[in-house]
């Protein structure tokens, strides 16, 4: 084929130049689109972060780099395998009855992944132990139950627990007390205990300080609460008032079981674990004694990973120590369940 005519060469050159200009323009447009997309995504991510922080009461969430580091934590595959090994032992959360917690409060729960990304309060080089703070007077039997609770907490969360000297109820002023309008029971205001008694006295090395009292509690609304915690301030309080008689053989077992469940539950909140909605679990909410009694003392596969990870707990050793405690303290159902969990991990 011969060479194109001069006019044709000119048109071809112009077309090639135009194509080059279009390509350069398109590249610039694509770059600008990508830049604006990244900027929009960054704004959306920051907005999501701020809304999440607001929802969590100001708890600092992790940055993208910190999340990436967590996702490459070498412990996670082993924890995931351990959770899978005990999965068949656990029961999915039953539909709530009319007066149950989830019938009154709509909650979505918390996966292990969501827990990791929430930057929860947990032990560190500076924060090394839990503290139990009695408030008020305790009988000999009540004091013994509190000491047993401290031992269980240490085994359950794989951390030292120190029992502090009791504080007097005289520290709580009249404006932080009330007489219940129908029942006539004296109640203490939980927010005063958290903000004005525990937070100023919290030791520097405390992962959390948990107060317990024989007085009834109310949170400024509702009739009463078994306990209440502040994740941001690492303090919590719970009451022995509604657990029944500590002195009779059968009633003592029920009293101790209720005390143990609420102590474990409130301490879980101190580590940033929110109410579980996926399984029958120690971290289920409870709206009364009947629901509290029906909730198990053990953690589900989702929530126990949070404790294994946050407290650097060895899963098998933790179950061994829990079985030992349960066998020594007449917790027959718990001893059997924790033994099955231990055996599932030993296989």
C-alpha–C-alpha distance, residues 81 and 250, integer Å = 39
Order of strands, edge to edge, in the sheet holding 206-213? 161-163, 129-135, 206-213, 235-239, 227-230
Show Cβ contacts of residue 205 under 8 Å, excluding neighbours closer than 6 positions. Answer: 126, 127, 128, 129
Q: Which residues pair with 217 in a beta bridge?
A: 188
Please work out, in degrees rounded to the nearest 5, the angle formed at the alpha carbon of residue 225 by the alpha carbons of 221 and 227.
125
Which of 186, 266, 290, 324 is flagged as catalytic? 266
Q: Can you point out the beta strands (E) in the chain?
A: 129-135, 161-163, 177-179, 186-189, 206-213, 216-218, 227-230, 235-239
C-alpha–C-alpha distance, residues 271 and 48, integer Å = 23
266 tagged catalytic: yes
Show Cβ contacts of residue 286 under 8 Å, excluding neighbours closer than 6 positions. Answer: 101, 226, 265, 292, 295
Would you say the C-alpha torsion 281, 59, 175, 132 has a positive or negative sign?
A: positive
Active-site residue list:
266
């Amino acid at each position: 084929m011969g060479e194109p005519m001069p006019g044709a060469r000119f048109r071809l050159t112009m077309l090639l130049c135009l194509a080059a200009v279009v390509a350069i323009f398109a590249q610039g447009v694509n770059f600008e689109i990508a830049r604006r997309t990244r900027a929009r995504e960054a704004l959306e991510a920051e907005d999501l972060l701020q809304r999440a922080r607001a929802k969590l009461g100001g708890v600092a969430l992790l940055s993208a780099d910190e999340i990436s580091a967590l996702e490459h934590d070498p412990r996670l595959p082993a924890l995931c395998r351990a959770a899978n090994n005990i999965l068949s032992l656990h029961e999915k959360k039953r539909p709530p009855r009319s007066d149950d917690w989830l019938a009154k409060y709509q909650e979505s729960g918390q996966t292990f992944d969501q827990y990791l990304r929430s930057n929860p309060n947990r032990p560190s080089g500076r924060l090394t132990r839990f503290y139990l703070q009695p408030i008020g007077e305790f009988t000999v039997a009540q004091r013994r139950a509190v000491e047993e609770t401290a031992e269980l907490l240490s085994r359950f969360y794989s951390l030292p627990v120190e029992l502090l000297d009791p504080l007097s109820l005289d520290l709580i002023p009249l404006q932080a007390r009330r007489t219940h309008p129908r029942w006539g029971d004296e109640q203490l205001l939980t927010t005063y205990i958290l903000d004005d008694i525990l937070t100023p006295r919290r030791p520097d090395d405390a992962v959390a300080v948990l107060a317990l009292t024989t007085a009834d509690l109310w949170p400024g609304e509702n009739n009463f609460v078994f306990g209440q915690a502040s994740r941001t301030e690492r303090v919590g309080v719970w009451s022995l008032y509604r657990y029944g008689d500590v002195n009779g053989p059968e009633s003592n077992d029920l009293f101790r079981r209720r005390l143990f469940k609420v102590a474990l539950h409130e301490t879980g909140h101190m580590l940033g674990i929110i109410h579980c909605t996926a399984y029958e679990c120690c971290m289920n909410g409870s709206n009364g004694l009947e629901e509290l009694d029906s909730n198990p003392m053990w953690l589900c596969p989702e929530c126990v990973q949070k404790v294994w990870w946050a407290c650097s707990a060895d899963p098998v050793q933790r179950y061994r120590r829990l079985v030992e405690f349960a066998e020594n303290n007449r917790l027959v159902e718990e001893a059997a369940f924790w033994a099955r969990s231990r055996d599932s991990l030993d296989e």
